[in-house]
Structure 1
Amino acid sequence: MQSLVLERQGELSLRDFPAIDHDEETLGPRDVRIRLHTVGICGSDVHYYTHGRIGPFVVNAPMILGHEASGTVIETGSDVSTLKPGDRVCMEPGIPEPNSRATRLGMYNVDPAVRFWATPPVHGILRPTCVHPEAFTFKLPDTVSFAEAAMVEPLAVGIHAATKARIKPGDNAVVMGAGPIGLVTALSALAAGCARVFLSDVAQPKLDIGAGLSRAIIPVNVAQDDLAKCVLRETDGWGADVVFEATGSPKAAAGIFQPLAPGGCVVMIGGQPDPIAYDAGAAMVREARVENIFRYAHAFPRCVNMIASGAIDVKPLITRTFAFSDSVQAFEIAASAPASDVKMQIEMPQ
């Protein structure tokens, strides 16, 4: 089974990979077998490639990459009732322990026992087929393409962040970071009811892409302009109701309260590898609410419906597509972080 394998930090290969656990490939009564079609390259995939680890998750053995995916059901377990062979689907990549306390409370994304694709020691899905639970596999409407469906996973992060922010119609928001997660967060904030979204970054090509998504997105190049001054100027000195931190940069995160309005909410999205400075005084005088998100929960059906209806258009974010045979090159390009690219995807052989 030819797969894209991270052999070790900095080394990828496209090769047969017979080491998938038998249990992982065994079709259970409530599972479906899926032929993969499109897989997105995520920043976490690239980070494992370039650094060999993310926090406590260390690549100690060869691991298949990829977790943003769509495909076609080719086989179903005996108790599957909502899917059939031929159905086009996208898949939520994190499988929690069904009886854990977190899962029973509805917070399955923070279950310590969750198994998430391409997170050591769990393999990803840059391979021909996978087995996945019916409960975390979602049928696609005819209006949603495989490429759009592979964007559901990153979009789910933005939808989860917007939900945690408790956006009200007419709110002003700031999204710090115009990478893939920042851009889907901006779209999610608008879909949730924001009147305007101030989008900040240092890469002008990414800001240009963001500005092209909606006239309600106001780009701010923080290499040239002061974000807080811009937001205060445009909001009569009041500030933004919500600030989303989607850079993962300690320097950017240090200023999260500066553009925030009194009583506003900060949502921390970007992963921080180390502890960051937290201005408790700035938060206190605003009586700020601070939310943190870890992946998402209960978001995939919402994302599919919003893409299908046209409420959110993710197509402009897909800036480059590679054949599976060019996967190694695709990761090399992604690791170089081209300023004009947002989401790169890989199409699997059919």
Structure 2
Amino acid sequence: MAILEAKQNVVKQLQDLRGLNDELNPAFVLQKPLNVSFEDRPIPTLSLGSTDVIVQIMQTGICGSDVHYYNHGSIGKFIVKSPMILGHESSGVVAAVGSACKNLHVGDRVALEPGVPCRQCSACKGGKYNICPSMVFAATPPFDGTLCKYYKIAEDFCYKLPPHISFEEGALIEPLSVAVHICRQASIVPGNSVVVFGAGPVGILCCAVARAFGAKTIVSVDLVQSRLAFARDFYGATHTHLAGSTTSSVETAAQLINDAHLRDGADVVIEASGAASSVQTGIHVLRSGGRYVQGGMGKYDITFPIGAIIEKELDIKGSFRYGSGDYLLAISLLESRQIDMKRLITGRYKFHDAERAFKDVYSGKPGLVKVVIEGPEGKCVSEF
């Protein structure tokens, strides 16, 4: 019986792949900084006994890291040395499955977790696969991303979308998972006061997740008033603070504490901007014994108020991407409608307008908060 079932799976896989034979795989490729092109790349293949699936990409969000590669060709030690397909925030439809797949079928609507670890190193075995040194992460050199028609990924890093979750929302489960991981790193509990520096998409989502976790006071801090209004009106911030004054970090922290009625300081600070001044202010905003999480990526080395960390005995953590359970929790927050991702989307582009989308995000086009790009047209399962 098992042998017959295995043969049937192989036949089904071959049928799925034959259905792709006449298809093309258009991709949005970064050649070098500020130089992109559309290319027809080979359709991925599945080896015998594979547990991978091929997904037809339906929607892809633009992340700050994508824009950074587009403009600079590198992020820290990750340097674009050869043409690379951009994009990693994606959702789509399963177009083919490996013969050893158990949980997914052709036609399933899925969100993609774009980083697949080795599953064998000490980080993976210790439950922190997000810091696996052998991580294969979409659109991180030397690996191609998801701004294409067909993308191959491990079955267990695809998550079925609930019926009422759209492909657009499914693509943005990725940044929502980043915010979930940050808030879990911060150990937010009901009644906590939380200050979030940075009101970009991740900072705004941190406000929303903190609210879902039961935070009582949520302060959003940013340089742009419209972003603060967005965080307050739609995503749970109870207070906002417009940064940019010439006061010292200690004075700014004191003002924040006073304006938000934080008494001895905040329970939690989340830094989602990467700005050195925000890091310094955040340390001073915290109460003694408070918790600080660095999620924003800025300069690699900065001046750090380590004396205050010692005196207050603060709990300091970094947060990198997302780990075990974060995607499932993010989907649960969407499914239960505790977080509305639709409001975050303020720009929608066709695939052939991908370069314009990147330019608009980089230039800070007014009104843009989060942008999604529709996948290449043709042979897709229609949106409900």
Decide which of 37, 43, 46 is 1:26's aligned counterpart: 46
- Percent identity reads 37
Q: Which residue does the alignment assign to 2:12?
A: none
Contact conserved, 1:14 with 1:327, CA < 8 A, in 2? no
Q: Which residue does the alignment assign to 2:317?
A: 291
Per the normalisation by structure 1, the TM-score is 0.95
Q: Which residue does the alignment assign to 2:85?
A: 64
Q: Per the alignment, in what secondary structure is the counterpart of residue 135 of structure 1? A: helix
CA distance in structure 2 between the partners assigned to 1:340 and 1:323 by the alignment:
18
Extract unaligned runs of 5+ from structure 1: none
The one-character-per-residue Cα deviations of 1:278-332 (angstroms, maximum 9, x if unpaired) are 1011112221110101111021111111101101111111111100010011111
RMSD: 1.6
Contact conserved, 2:30 with 2:83, CA < 8 A, in 1? yes
CA distance in structure 2 between the partners assigned to 1:215 and 1:179 by the alignment:
14
**Alignment length (residue pairs):** 346
Q: How does 1:79-228 map to 2 (within 5 A)?
A: 79-214=100-235, 216-223=237-244, 226=252, 228=254
CA distance in structure 2 between the partners assigned to 1:232 and 1:25 by the alignment:
59
The one-character-per-residue Cα deviations of 1:96-122 (angstroms, maximum 9, x if unpaired) are 112111111111010100010000000
CA distance in structure 2 between the partners assigned to 1:237 and 1:211 by the alignment:
21
Deviation at residue 191 of structure 1 after TM alignment: 1.0
The one-character-per-residue Cα deviations of 1:54-102 (angstroms, maximum 9, x if unpaired) are 0011111110000000000111111212111111000100011121111
Decide which of 358, 365, 369 is 1:338's aligned counterpart: 365
Q: Per the alignment, in what secondary structure is the counterpart of residue 84 of structure 1? A: coil
Decide which of 250, 253, 257 is 1:231's aligned counterpart: 257
The one-character-per-residue Cα deviations of 1:200-222 (angstroms, maximum 9, x if unpaired) are 00111111111111554322111
CA distance in structure 2 between the partners assigned to 1:273 and 1:234 by the alignment:
29
Q: Which residue does the alignment assign to 2:62?
A: 41
Q: Per the alignment, in what secondary structure is the counterpart of residue 153 of structure 2? A: strand
Q: Which residue does the alignment assign to 1:12?
A: 36
Contact conserved, 1:35 with 1:128, CA < 8 A, in 2? yes
Deviation at residue 236 of structure 1 after TM alignment: 5.0
Indicate whether 1:322 and 2:349 are aligned: yes
Q: Which residue does the alignment assign to 1:52?
A: 73
Detail structure 1 runs of 4+ shifted over 6 Å in the superposition: none
CA distance in structure 2 between the partners assigned to 1:236 and 1:167 by the alignment:
16
CA distance in structure 1 between the partners assigned to 2:265 and 2:235 by the alignment:
21
Extract unaligned runs of 5+ from structure 2: 1-24, 379-384
CA distance in structure 1 between the partners assigned to 2:140 and 2:313 by the alignment:
37
Code of the residue aligned with 2:58 in structure 1: it is H
CA distance in structure 1 between the partners assigned to 2:237 and 2:301 by the alignment:
33
The one-character-per-residue Cα deviations of 1:2-33 (angstroms, maximum 9, x if unpaired) are 21110101111122234x8xxx6435521111
Deviation at residue 345 of structure 1 after TM alignment: 0.6
CA distance in structure 1 between the partners assigned to 2:199 and 2:366 by the alignment:
10
Indicate whether 1:300 and 2:320 are aligned: no
Mean Cα deviation higher: 255-264 or 175-184: 255-264
CA distance in structure 2 between the partners assigned to 1:188 and 1:179 by the alignment:
14
Indicate whether 1:252 and 2:272 are aligned: no
